Amino acid sequence: MSLLEIENLSLAIGDTPILKGVELSVAPGEVMGLVGESGSGKSMTALTVMQLLPFAARATGRVTFDGIDILAASEDQMCALRGDDIGMVFQEPMTALNPVKTIGEQVAEGIRWHTRSSRAEAEDRARKMLDRVGLPAALFPLSRYPHELSGGQRQRVVIAIACALKPKLLIADEPTTALDVVLQAQILDLLRDLVAENRMGLLLISHDLAVVTEMADRITILRHGEVMEAGDTARTLSEQLHPYTRQLAQASMHVPARPKTHAAGSAKPLLQVEGVTRDYPGRRMSLFKRATPVRAVDDVSLSIAPGQSVALVGRSGCGKSTLARMILALDRSTSGTIRFRGETITGKSETELKPARRDMQVVFQDPYGSFDPRQKVEKLVAEPLHVLDKKPAPAERREMVAHALHEVGLGPRDMDKYPHEFSGGQRQRLSIARAIITRPKLVVADEPVSALDVSIRAQILDLFAELNQKLGIAYLFITHDLTVARAITDEVLVMHDGRIVERGMTSEVLDHPQSEAAKALVAAAPDLHRAIARRLQEQG
Amino acid sequence: MTLHVDIPEETLASILAKALRNRSFLIGLAITALVAAVAILSYVWTPYDVTRLVISDKTQSPSLAHWFGTDHFGRDILSMIMVGARNSIAVALVAVGIGMGVGVPLGAFAAARGGLIDEVLMRMNDLVFAFPALLSAIMITAIFGPGAINAIIAIGIFNIPVFARVARAGALAIWPREFILAARAAGKGSTLITIEHILPNIATLLLVQGTIQFALGILAEAGLSYVGLGAQPPMPSWGRMLFDAQTRMVVAPWMAIFPGMAIVVTVLGLNLLGDGIADILDPKSRRQR
């Protein structure tokens, strides 16, 4: 018998239908993958099972967990279930923990509440659980606070809380989306082991087809609140019977067409970074000793030729973004020089930087945060025109904005809208329009597609590739996602602990990594082809 | 996926619709508008001339001829409250203007520069903040002489650190956002970024603080004129009316009740208005009301 059985579940918030006739089941010891793009109702399905829906939501249908009718259960019954028989892991480890409580307290809290055990007993179990998730008490005592842990470690604590009472069902809602690939692989391993150990059912929610394929026995594909296809993971993804499944799979493996590629060294370099170092003031240990600085970027040198597309890959916190900011002259380097078009830009004043700024633009990761919510698109996209010597007249400016919008596939009518009227993918297009309006020679893109759904991601990658071909813009792509690097870059730089540890042609580095850091990245990166092949092999 | 409970995006129409459903905003707005209307009306018409003393009519209790009664010189209390409203509003409004005009640029500048400049400016702010405002206002008017102008300046000075702090705190929350980074990458300097991006994003914060300071300004003005340091006779003011009523509380309680009510109602109205605006514009309170 199934552990969790969802039959014909429909959900509406106010008058907006969210879920339509969703069917889903999880057996003990089984991993069920729930895949879909944002807004498809994945999280709402999870929240329905937990009965943590917003007030205005109305659910109909049947949800049975272990013989209990969830939709009819009282709040008291649900309180007894949540955290005891059903555990939940959330996406964002930074906000899922209470910052003013120690990790020991937070793990023990649920144990004490559900088992009515004494504080000492609960703490003992908490210690064992934290040890199990890879946070041994010798290194991570119970008295640590969340801010003393890294993102991956925090996610382990969240998992420890969810699994402390050996739940029958664990719901993991995008548990690794906020983590880099190496941490992602570790967390997924941990989840897999916990499932095997406790014969726990796992409902794994993700937008990443590759992750789900590696983990899940069965898969359910959701779109606009409806189940598109469901079944055995390997079969569903290898046969790709449903058009939407095919579309998703193709989008995840999409490689934009780039007939022209650029090799370095042919022309005079556009950007030259020589021995750049950046120190941040460290924490002061004593009143009388000087704080030892933290070195974020350590003696980095690189060069980019005009029109060349270079990826800077590395794990989170390796100094990629700091380096990018220094290249964009938004942050000062401690030592070293950065030359752009042959001119030194380190240590220049804002006025002296103006000509360089014209040829250098940026695209950020978060399409929601990178626009002032109170300005209209015309003004936002026109912002870089500020660096031109001759400010265009209003009519001319409108023309330029319209042209830039056209190049990224938006219409002139979009000029008078506010950013919130656009979807995430459209906003990233706006972001690119803003970056190319001054016809720059170099665009620095900091994780430009990691916040986007796979199909949108494919479109944006196509757009980047097209602009590179058409306008000859050089890119510096900062990413932890190797598929992105593989898709649109000529050269790859691997960064680890502030240093560049490996560099070379993209295909070479990704297929035959030499350094430890590159090997770890490549091994951890989820790959849909590989995952499907492995699944099929396992089944014979 | 994050929990995207879609917060409905703000348009002018949606804000207006929400405003019309918000009780404290509506009541506050009605009271404030009434006080303002009365003050404006007093320029063209009052039931009686407030400068004419009719000793034969002194300390009359409320009647049809004098709705709120008369004071010890036979002046009509309703007329005095009407004229006094204009004084109260003018003082409070200009004082808030001074506070915003100096405080907001100061706070925004401190946030934009950071480091030593920020530290020095904010510590100076703390210094001004450390003085009890009303006491210092009394000191200033004692030195420069009593009068409406000096009262305005005194109250205004003590509004500066309030607005500086609010502006700085608001600006500091906006500065690390990516769109500011994008503006910097577009070569914009901190002054331009402050004007184009920071100020519009903290405007609502300042608006709410403005209504609160406005109410406090009215109270401060009443306090100053109560001790004789506000507007000078024959210009009536609510504070001095209370002072005059003090010794005649038993014989002519209406002399105290009506100006007192005027102060209470006005301050209450402004506070409700501020609360209402804060509620309407705060995305977190959106789902509850």
The residues, ordered by sequence, that sit 6+ positions from A288 with a Cβ below 8 Å of its Cβ are none
Q: Rounded to an integer, what distance in angstroms lies between the CA atom of residue A481 and that of residue A528?
A: 13
Identify each DSSP E strand in A91-147 by its residue range: none
State phi, psi for B126 to the nearest 5 degrees: -60, -40
Q: Is the pLDDT of residue B14 over 80?
A: no
Domains A4-251 and A271-281+291-531 belong to one CATH topology: yes
Gap between the Cα atoms of B155 and B103, Å rounded:
13
Residue A22: what pLDDT?
Answer: 92
pLDDT tens column, A96-153: 888 889 999 999 988 988 888 888 999 999 999 998 888 888 888 888 888 888 888 8
Q: Is B136 exposed, middle or buried (0-12, 13-18, 19+ CB in 10 A)?
A: middle
Provide the ipTM.
Answer: 0.75
**Are B182 and A434 in contact (CB < 8 Å)?**
yes
Greatest CA separation found in chain B?
A: 80
Question: Rounded to an integer, what distance in angstroms lies between the CA atom of residue A201 and that of residue A180?
Answer: 25
Nearest CA to CA, how far is B69 from chain A (Å)? 52
CA–CA distance from A242 to each of A40, A231, A232, A512 (Å)? 17, 11, 14, 35
Distances (CA, A) of B179 to A363, A431, B196: 10, 10, 11
- Domain spans, chain B: 72-283
Give residue A170's pLDDT.
93
The answer to whether residues A71 and A149 touch, using CB atoms and an 8 Å cutoff, is no
Q: Do A167 and A86 contact (CB within 8 A), yes or no? A: yes
- From chain B, pick out residues whose CB is under 8 angstroms from the CB of A454: none
Contacts of A343 (CB under 8 A, 6+ apart): A355, A356
Q: Which residues of B touch A15 (CB under 8 A)?
A: none
CATH number belonging to the domain at B72-283, selected among 1.10.645.10, 2.70.150.10, 1.10.3720.10, 3.40.50.620: 1.10.3720.10
| Rounded Cα–Cα distance for residues A44 and B4 (Å) | 9
Instruction: Kindly list the domain boundaries of chain A, sorted by start residue.
Output: 4-251, 271-281+291-531
Q: What chain A residue is nearest to B204 in terms of C-alpha separation?
A: A374
Taking contacts as CB-CB distances below 8 angstroms, the residues of chain B near A207 are 1
| Total beta-carbon pairs less than 8 A apart between chain A and chain B | 84
Tell me which chain A residues have a C-beta less than 8 angstroms from the C-beta of B287. Answer: 54-55
Determine whether the interchain pair A38/B1 forms a contact, defined as Cβ–Cβ distance below 8 Å. Answer: yes
Question: Which of A354, A361, A372 is opposite residue B185, by nearest beta carbon?
Answer: A361
Tokens of A313: 């890959």
Q: Look over chain B and give the mean of its residue pLDDT values, rounded to a whole number.
A: 85
Residues B225-235 have a mean pLDDT of 83
Query: In 3D, which of B61, B50, B76 has the Cα closest to residue B236?
Result: B50
d(CA B68, CA B81): 9
Q: Which residue of A has its CA nearest to B200?
A: A374
**Cα B36 from Cα B262, distance rounded (Å):** 12
Q: What is the CATH number of domain A4-251?
A: 3.40.50.300
Sign of CA dihedral A309, A314, A317, A318: negative
| Residues 6 or more apart in contact with residue B5 via CB below 8 angstroms | A13, A54
According to DSSP, the residues that pair with A278 across neighbouring strands are: A297
**Residue B10 confidence (pLDDT):** 59
8 A C-beta contact, residue A40 and residue A27: no
Number of H helices, E strands in chain A: 19, 20
A421 and B9 within 8 Å at the Cβ level: the answer is yes
Measure the CA–CA gap between A177 and B273, rounded to whole angstroms: 43
Neighbouring C-beta atoms of residue B29, cutoff 10 Å: 17
The pLDDT, as a whole number, for residue B5 is 40
Residue A534 C-alpha from the chain's centroid = 24
Going from the first residue of chain A to its last (540 residues), give the mean pLDDT of each consecutive group of 10, the final group possibly shorter.
89 86 92 88 89 84 90 88 88 83 90 88 91 87 86 88 90 86 88 90 90 91 91 88 89 79 68 91 71 86 91 88 90 90 86 88 84 89 87 90 90 87 86 91 89 84 89 90 86 92 91 91 86 82
Mention every residue, 6+ apart, whose C-beta is less than 8 A from residue B238.
Answer: B81, B84, B85, B87, B88, B221, B222, B225, B259, B262, B263
Task: Assess whether pLDDT exceeds 80 at residue B15.
Answer: no
DSSP state of A82: B
pLDDT of residue B289: 38
For residue B256, the SS3 value is: helix
SS3 A212: helix
Q: In what order do the strands lie in the sheet with A68-69?
A: A16-26, A4-13, A57-65, A68-69
Place of tokens 């309703």: B78
Neighbours of A206 (CB within 10 A): 26
Span A271-281+291-531: which CATH code?
3.40.50.300
Q: Which of A216, A223, A222 is nearest to A202 (CA)?
A: A216
B201 vs A: CB within 8 A: yes
Looking at residue B1, what is its pLDDT? Answer: 37
Q: What is the pLDDT of residue A262?
A: 62
Contact A374 B177 (CB under 8 A): no
Chain A CB contacts of B188 under 8 Å are: 383, 386
The nearest CA of chain A is from the CA of B109 a distance in Å of 18
Is residue B27 predicted with pLDDT exceeding 90? yes
Q: How confident is the model at residue B9 (pLDDT cuts 50, 70, 90)?
A: low
| Strand, coil or helix: B93 | helix
Task: Say if residue B151's pLDDT is above 90.
Answer: no
User: What end-to-end distance do the CA atoms of chain B give, in Å?
Assistant: 27
**Which residues contact residue A419 at a Cβ distance below 8 angstroms, ignoring those fewer than 6 apart?**
A371, A372, A373, A375, A377, A380, A427, A430
Q: Are A328 and A278 in contact (CB under 8 A)?
A: no
Residues of chain A with C-beta less than 8 angstroms from the C-beta of B187: 350, 353-354, 357-358, 384, 386-387
Q: Residues of A with CB below 8 A from B1's CB?
A: 38, 42-43, 91, 173-174, 205, 207
Question: Residue type at A244?
Answer: Y
Candidate from A357, A371, A384 with C-beta closest to B179: A371
User: Which residues contact residue B189 at a Cβ distance below 8 angstroms, ignoring those fewer than 6 apart?
Assistant: A350
